[in-house]
A and B are shown apart, each in its own frame.
Chain A
Amino acid sequence: MTQSVVVQVGQCGNQVGCRFWDLALREHAAVNKKGMYDEALSSFFRNVDTRSGDNGPDIYKGKICTLKARALLIDMEEGVVNEILQGPLRDVFDSKQLITDVSGSGNNWAVGHKIYGCQYRENIVEKLRKTAEHCDCLQCFFIIHSMGGGTGSGLGTFVLNLLEEEFPEVYRFVTSVYPSGEDDVITSPYNSVLAMKELNEHADCVLPIENESLFQIVNKIHQMINSGKLGSTVKQNSLVTSNAGSAKTLQVKPFDAMNNIVANLLLNLTCSARFEGSLNMDLNEISMNLVPFPRLHYLVSSLTPLYTLADVNVPSRRLDQMFSDAFSRDHQLIQADPKHSLYLACALLVRGNVQVSDLRRNIERLKPSLHFVSWNQEGWKTGLCSVPPVGHSHSLLALANNTCVKPTFIELKDRFMKLYKKKAHLHHYLQIDGMEQSCFSEAICSLSDLIEEYNELDATKGGPRIDPSRLKIAI
């Protein structure tokens, strides 16, 4: 079994990360009834004997003593991390896993990347090494950050670079929260585009998230509950937005519901690596199957169902509805419509009481309405994990490598150009040591190239299918 390490950077990164650890504990508690430390737990948690202090040795087998998250918490302000350390999750984190500073990055990518990057490089490397040493077989780093600010964006992508240098064999999966159009951080386009270049070059897979989508999902659930019709029969702990039944039930913060969705995304992504199933789908398989060309590694994700009704008997019609929903635009975690764009590849990871025939039936059913690139007409990667998420009897995570990410990138580019043309706020960046105009022009070039690659693929959509001629054999 392999281990993964979560690196949460910046305010957003840490808030989402916090929700992730809470829900991870909840998920394992639901499955692990005997209190024994098993391989599934070891994926994200160490088992430490803390009687001799925090520096206690790792216990690899036997009863659970104290679980410590395999995580690194980085923030250049103290507020968020301090709150975590004072909350119910404080014992899950090792005091040595934190890197904080006081003044923040002022929503400036350059401050995060160049200044703090430089300053904290050694510290970060040392702490990463320590976490890696505790792992028997480290498979993946998960970075969680936002793109629009300074720390998550700048320092987060600095760490991404570092990970590639120091741990080239380990996968780098990045969960990036992209800024919305009404973002109140004026310089968010600069920060995002500068960060995009790093993601293009150093990430194995990126899962883009947009707050608008999370917000819409939260609203949808609220409406459904408050409509009164179904409200009373919904299982509270099944809501993709809830953390009912977990440690942190009392204090619910405003972004918690939205962040829980992202946390659930990560749990579902890694479930097959942790739990058994009839067709396992490990993280290295996700990267292998969903990334046909190195730079096209942006995966649009959707989670269904958003909630479970309390009745246990699920007719297969409802099961099929789950599959249909996965492809609808209002279940995607970014503002995108994969159904009307071009699929390069698609992965379906099903959890719970679903069998291969259900999977095949739904693929056959949905295929005709989807557009796949000519060289990947049967581009489906499937996984079946036996363990469902908390509160559900089954669930589905869909990951799409689809040209529908293009509008998000084009919008980003437009917002960037609006500011850049007027050179607005540019001096805040250029005055930082190591920053030059070329950083900006290279970054926008990188983004433009990426958009162009998607354009070229889109151009093939719906065109005549000409299969290349096969090798001829002389008889």
Chain B
Amino acid sequence: MSIVTVQLGQCGNQIGHEVFSALCSDILGTHGLCSTKENESYQDSCKERFFCQEESGVPVARAVLVDMEPKVISQTLSMAARSGHWRYNSHSHFCQKQGSGNNWANGYSVHGPRHKEAIMNLVQKEAEKCDRLGGFFTIMSMAGGTGSGLGAFVTQCLRDAFPASFILNHVVWPYGTGEVIVQNYNSVLTLSHLYHSSDALLVHENDVIHKICAQLMNIKQISFRDVNQVIAHQLGSVFQPTHTAGGGSGYSRNPLGDLMETLVPHPEFRMLGLRNIPQMPENSLPYSAFSWPGLIKHLRQMLIANAHMEEGIDWQVRPPHPGSSIPSTGKPLHFNTSIANLLILRGKDVHSVDLGSFQDPSLYTSWLNPQDAFNAWKTPRAFNKYEKSAALVSNSQFLLKPLDSIVGKAWNMFASKAYLHQYTKFGIQEEDFLDCFTTLEQVISSYTNL
């Protein structure tokens, strides 16, 4: 099944480009460490999922590029074409002349309706090129105006036009110390709207990725390109083909559907966090050796202690003692309760990995059987030169604190009525804000009381 990617705004387009680059360089690489047959199967599956094969040879990404001003899209298109290994369809983009001005209301209420037809036509064309449509993957930031506002509108349109398809929104959360002054307003508006039309939100926080770049990747002068490449690596480690548990011998045909099924049992809980191990500079890879038990142990502790990377994990945090009848409020502080977890393992000796520690019922809420709450996808084919790598997609309290922080700051600003005139002039009123705050407070409350 194929996935159509919709890249929205500057962030969405910059990341989208890195994602396709990473996917392409992975399948073209000789680091697979598996049989030729396995490798070919992997390549074919990836190509079917993300690329359209054209007679001229160079794979064409199944993507629609949307932005309200032209500079980023034109850069993105030309960078892809220059790579020689893949490209975008030269017609699959939509842009205007003047951006959204970091104004969510402008993106949602003005640009959305105005350009709905043109954008949806492009999406329809891409969807029709797929033999079987597996769903949509949108990439956007929630701090600006286009990715956030127009992104929320487009997600709604996708839901209306393709009611049976899966929609996964990749949302980038801005630096806490500010990239855009009205980022908290834009974030609240975006998240609450996406909650109503999307199937799941897969989140990356700039602060977290920045730390990974600084501490794990040893990059001195970190650029947005560096940040985006780490994000692309993490996304690739989730979306490259794998065998699902009961999926038979071939690669999984329905990645988005499988993801939703395993991770989103209840519509109130849609926020997914992502952790990846190991992460290191490419030139350190030949000197490093990993063992699965070590990787799994670290990843499990990262889950429990809500750590963002394999360094600086708090090993003191433990799940509550099994068997003791502790009400949910008695859970030890800082312990990250999960609803469902998905582990994706790639590389050497995957079949021998012991995952019992992730099936420990004390990690989870009591609603699902631990067998249902935890799933693992595997492939012996190594990813992106890492001999062994594991990704954890988690529906847990990972994002509770950052979400609470964003809502708190937005509320603080809202109470003073600052900047509201900028939104009301495009049709977003105070009542609309209040609705959004209510939705998110509900989400926060739900996740807090796990």
Residues of A whose CB lies within 8 Å of any CB of B are 1-2, 39, 136-137, 139, 276, 278-280, 282, 284-285, 287-294, 316, 344-345, 355-358, 360, 363-364, 367, 374-382, 384, 467-468, 470-473, 475
Contacts and interface: CB of A to CB of B under 8 A. Distances in A.
B85 interface: no
Contacts of A360: 175, 177, 210
Contacts, number: 143
Contact of A382 (B71, B178, B412, B442): B178
B98 A137 contact: yes
18 contacts: A1-B97, A137-B97, A278-B223, A282-B69, A282-B101, A284-B98, A285-B102, A289-B180, A291-B422, A292-B419, A293-B417, A356-B227, A360-B210, A375-B415, A381-B102, A468-B412, A473-B444, A475-B449
B411 interface: yes
B182 A288 contact: yes
Given A375-B416, A468-B415, A282 B99 contact: yes
A290 B214 CA distance: 31
Contact of B421 (A278, A279, A293): A293
A376 B181 contact: yes
Contact of B177 (A293, A367, A470): A367
B10 A279 contact: yes
B97 A288 contact: no
Given A292-B419, A471-B437, A375 B180 contact: no
Given A1-B69, A284-B98, A355-B222, A467 B214 contact: no
Nearest to B176: A378
Contacts of A276: 71-72, 75
Contact of A357 (B71, B97, B210, B441): B210
Contacts of B415: 375, 468
Contacts of B103: 284, 288
B108 to A, nearest CB: 14
Interface in B102-136: 102-103
Interface in B392-423: 407-409, 411-413, 415-419, 421-422
A290 B100 CA distance: 15
Nearest to A381: B181
Contacts of B75: 276
Contacts of B422: 288, 291
A280 B99 contact: yes
Contacts of A278: 14, 223-225
B97 A290 contact: no
A282 B102 CA distance: 9
Given A1-B71, A276-B71, A282-B101, A381 B180 contact: yes
B418 A292 contact: yes
A139 B68 CA distance: 13
- Would you list the 8 A-B pairs with minimal beta carbon distance, nearest first? A284-B101, A380-B178, A357-B222, A137-B97, A292-B418, A468-B415, A378-B178, A355-B223
Range for the number of chain B residues in contact with chain A: 35 or more
Nearest to A380: B178
Given A363-B177, A379-B181, A280 B71 contact: yes
Interface centre among B10, B99, B176 (most CB of A within 10 A): B99
B412 A467 contact: yes
B30 interface: no
Contacts of A293: 417-418, 421
B214 A357 contact: yes
Interface centre among B181, B214, B220, B408 (most CB of A within 10 A): B181
Contacts of A468: 411-412, 415
Contacts of B101: 282, 284-285, 287-288
Given A282-B98, A375-B413, A475-B449, 15 more contacts: A1-B97, A284-B103, A357-B210, A360-B177, A363-B177, A376-B181, A376-B413, A377-B409, A381-B102, A382-B179, A468-B411, A471-B411, A471-B438, A473-B438, A475-B445
Contacts of B445: 473, 475
Contacts of A139: 98
B265 interface: no
B182 A473 contact: no
Interface centre among A292, A364, A472 (most CB of B within 10 A): A292
Contacts of B180: 285, 289, 381-382
Contacts of A467: 408, 412
A290 B70 contact: no
Contact of B99 (A39, A284, A473): A284
B50 to A, nearest CB: 24
B10 A280 contact: yes
Contacts of A473: 438, 441-442, 444-445
Interface string B179-220: 111100000000000000000000000000010011000011
